Amino acid sequence: MTEIIDGDAVAASLREELAESIEELADAGVQPGLATVLMSDDPASETYVSMKREDCREVGIEDFHRDVDSGADTEELMAVVADLNERADVHGVLVQTPLPDQVDSERALRSVTPLKDVDGFHPENVGRLVRGDPRYRPCTPHGVQKLLDAAGVETEGADAVVVGRSNLVGKPLANLLLRKAPDGNATVTVCHSRTDDLAEKTRGADIVVAAAGVPELIDGSMLAEGATVIDVGYNHVDGEAVGDVAFESARETAGAITPVPGGVGPMTRAMLLYNTVKAASIQSGTDVSLP
């Protein structure tokens, strides 16, 4: 029987465990705080930010929020970030991307102080990840690791294929799976739009992670019998969320598979809470146990 990996359930149990870490911080007089910065009129970005804020309030993380006019320039955005960098009650600063075209995104994201960079996008944190000593793991890749762990899927020695090489998902995930660590130690192949014969690559994999942003790119014919399939894709087709995996076809061949919705999405949000609690722990010098 194919296991359907329940991201909602795994995320819920993570939030419960994080609530205990937040209790430990409270005993030391610390409340974790996350500041989200929204500089966009895109309804999707607005939705992602409001879900993140709602999650914070639910688990006891203080929700700070800043709206920056979507017509503003890089300097104005960076001034907002600089102010949040200085505040002792703000432990995490998240600038929601994509940013408007007139903004120098690289410069703006680099202005988040690395200790508060709970997205893990700052070059210092990316560098640490690539070097094998991550501080804040990017939320979606970390969520994928937690889903694999929850499903009892060993990465050690596994052949993993990551479809997608973005800085947001594919590259950090490939680095995490490659890391010399119990939740890494996979043999990693990274595929992208110029990959020759994608199906041949995915058919050779024990673990396939689809993060291409192409609806139903991966179907059952492209999988080895019993493979684990993690669908990061979140595409809107006729107003419905559709993954990068053709679920009904893939589940026939897969050993375990994540659905969309109810798979990676809720985990991404849970790992942001995780990083914020970790940030509060580091910045307050309070040791807490993390799930």
Ligand X SMILES: Nc1nc(=O)c2c([nH]1)NC[C@@H]1CN(c3ccc(C(=O)N[C@@H](CCC(=O)O)C(=O)O)cc3)C=[N+]21
Question: Kind of pairing, strands 235-237 and 240-242?
Answer: antiparallel
Instruction: Check residue 230 for interaction with ligand NDP (CB under 6 A).
Output: no
Stretch of 63-71, 79-87, 153-161, 162-170 contacting ligand NDP, by CB under 6 A: 162-170
The answer to whether 165 is a known ligand-binding residue is yes
261 binds, among ligand X, ligand NDP, none (CB under 5 to 8 A by kind): ligand X
Look up 6 and say whether it is catalytic. no
Neighbour order of strands in the sheet with 207-210: 3-4, 256-257, 228-231, 207-210, 159-163, 187-191
Interface of this chain with ligand NDP, residues 48 to 87, rule: CB under 6 A: none
Closest residue to ligand X, Cβ-based? 265
- Among 118, 42, 109, 43, residue whose Cα is nearest residue 81: 109
164 is in an annotated binding site: yes
Q: Is residue 43 close enough to count as binding ligand NDP by CB under 6 A?
A: no
Active site (annotated) includes residue 149: no
> Given candidates 60, 114, 261, 291, which one binds ligand X under the rule CB under 6 A?
261
Q: Name residues contacting ligand NDP, limited to 185-204 (CB under 6 A).
A: 191-195, 198
119 tagged catalytic: yes
Near ligand X in 41-60, by CB under 6 A: 48, 51
Cα angle 200, 159, 147 (rounded to 5 degrees) comes to: 115
The listed partner (ligand X, ligand NDP, none) that binds 232, CB under 5 to 8 Å by sort, is: ligand NDP
CA distances from 97 to 48, 147, 161, 189, 191 (A): 10, 24, 26, 27, 23
* Residue 265 interacts with ligand NDP (CB under 6 A): yes or no: yes
Contacting range for ligand NDP; rule: CB under 6 A; set: 83-91, 96-104, 144-152, 212-220: 212-220
Closest separation between CB of residue 265 and ligand X, Å? Answer: 2
CA distances from 108 to 81, 98, 112 (A): 8, 11, 7
CB of 103 to ligand X, least distance (A): 13
Query: Residue 247 interacts with ligand X (CB under 6 A)?
Result: no
* Minimum distance of ligand NDP from residue 4's CB (angstroms): 16
Among 121, 136, 234, 274, contact with ligand NDP (rule: CB under 6 A) = 234
Exposure of 136 by Cβ count < 10 A (0-12 exposed, 13-18 middle, 19+ buried)? buried
Using CB under 6 A as the criterion, which residues of the chain lie in contact with ligand NDP when the complex forms?
A: 140, 163-166, 168-170, 191-195, 198, 211-214, 217, 232-235, 264-265, 268
Binding residues for NADP(+) are 164-166
